[in-house]
Structure formats: structure tokens, C-alpha cells
Amino acid sequence: MPDTGWKELVEVSWNVLVDKGFSCSMTSRDLFGVYGKGDASSRIVQVLTQWHETNYVISDVTLDED
């Protein structure tokens, strides 16, 4: 790419623009776990369930039967 939408990141050397001849020796194995363990959704459900059990109480509910 001759340009990027993230110019600020290039300016602070977080990202680097390279030409088409760039080669990288990294593999997907090198990146394993970079974004966590893949269990974010189950952890979120667990936290929400615990919150719900301790903070959400329904009391004195009457259901009309037709």
C-alpha cells in the first residue's frame, strides 16, 4: 500500500508501510493467543449470569390465567 488510513500509527512506528517485495517469516503459530484464548463469549455469559443472579430479583409477580 502506498498509503494507510492509520497515518498516526505509522508516524509512531507502530505500523510500517512496506512494498510488494516484503517477506515475513512469522506463521499463524507465532500469533497463537495474541487475541486471547477464544473463550471471550463464554466468559461474558458467565459474568452476566452471575450479575443477574445477584442483582435481578422478581418478587410478587402474579400471572393472570385466562
Q: How far apart are the first and last CA of the chain?
A: 67
pLDDT for 66 equals 59
The per-residue pLDDT for range 7-29, each reduced to its tens digit, is 888 888 777 888 778 777 777 77
Q: Under DSSP, is residue 19 helix (H, G, I), strand (E, B) or coil? A: coil
CB 1 within 8 A of CB 17: yes
Q: Under DSSP, is residue 9 helix (H, G, I), strand (E, B) or coil? A: helix
The per-residue pLDDT for range 29-62, each reduced to its tens digit, is 776 776 788 899 999 999 999 988 888 766 666 6
Give CA–CA dist 66/61, Å, rounded: 16
User: Could you state, in order of their start, the residue ranges of all structural domains in the chain?
Assistant: 7-55
pLDDT for 7 equals 84
Q: Which residue has the higher pLDDT, 49 or 65?
A: 49
